[in-house]
Structure 1
Amino acid sequence: MMIKVLLVDDEELVRFGLRAVLDAQPDMEVVGEAADGAEALGLVRSLNPDVVLMDVRMPDMDGLTATRTILRNCDPAPKILVVTTFENDDYVYEALRAGADGFLLKRARPAEMVHAVRLAAAGESLLFPAAIRGLAAGRGSSAAAESMARAGLTEREAEVLRLMARGFSNTEIAGQLYLGVQTVKTHVSSVLAKLGARDRTQAVIAAYESGFVTPT
């Protein structure tokens, strides 16, 4: 299956570099480019990309606002990977909370970018555990803790969520818990449903903000 990618960055040179890397892949095609979030919204509607690489800091409409707007107004919505220079940027955390599926650092190697796009297209969030821990530090709340308590996760679901928070894939979780991958997928789906989370990223953020998983 060909993965259709939309690039959103106000720097033309950055877009050029990303296009060169992604278009060189046999299963990827850059279908469009946008220089700001407002332009991106229109292109998402007209081009129906599978994955959007979204810069965070842009003039007119930044990546955070664009992410919220796209996810609220586009159905089906594409997977969104935030592309940033600084992994501890508050904009990144808010974009993840808004529904972005993960983030990439602009200094990432080409192979890492390609892998990230493939993961996102397959429905697996791209998480950097250490960075997520840093971003989540000090953001806990009693409301989040109460929400987690009400979710009523089973013991197995709780184990799965803790491993998700460490950045493990379904296959890696299956190996850790001696379960089949399909069984893990079932547990992940149940965790997301109970937490009211759009995806793995949202579930992991909820785990940290509630204190269920503690940044260390």
Structure 2
Amino acid sequence: MDAVIVTGAAGALGHAVVAEFLAAGRPVVALDRPSAHLDALGERDGVHHIAVDLASRAAVQEAFGAVDALPVTATALVGLAGGFTPGALTDVDEEQLDSLFRSNFGSALWTAQAVAPRFAAAGGGAIVNVGSRTAVEGPAPIVHATSKAAVVRLTQLLAGELRAQKIRVNAVLPSTIDTPANRSWMSPEMAARAVAPEAIAKVIVFLCGPDAAPISGAAIPVYGDA
């Protein structure tokens, strides 16, 4: 089957998404910053890993050149890469603004820019971005929420621009994900309501598959009870 490119693949949600695609018989090209976690992921059968700074347009273009050299053809892109820092209005500074918009919005923009002509040449494909519940509702750290809101709007714009090339673009909107990092600060009650990464992974795999062919431009809540 055609391969899937997963950015931010070395994270907790990334591992769940990679595992779900492998279980479905789809090889994975795992993109993330250099780390031992990425190297370990690359040792799994069916996974090709490439270390890259996803916030850099030049680095992303170079990485997709390396993807072209792999013995697989990718027809789906899942953009999990991103960052988070807390902060109310009085806490915002230039460093936080630059860092979060580059990691959240920039990574989605540059990878879509790189992959779109490749998917078009292959006859179509699917892109799934990861936004956030805070992008569309509720109180939240200002810069993180607005950078994720930019990802949601990017998803809508790309769905319209790429529709003629048979490229579908959707987003999922998690709330609180049940990860080891989040469990370090969550109360037991919050942890009990948090959404398992595996549950979100199943939605993402569906959106990349043929049964989701009619869906493009959607921002799908995956809030669970969180």
Q: TM-score, normalised by structure 1?
A: 0.46
More helix by percentage: 1
Q: TM-score, normalised by structure 2?
A: 0.44
Q: Which structure has the higher relative contact order (CA within 8 Å, separation 6+)?
A: 2
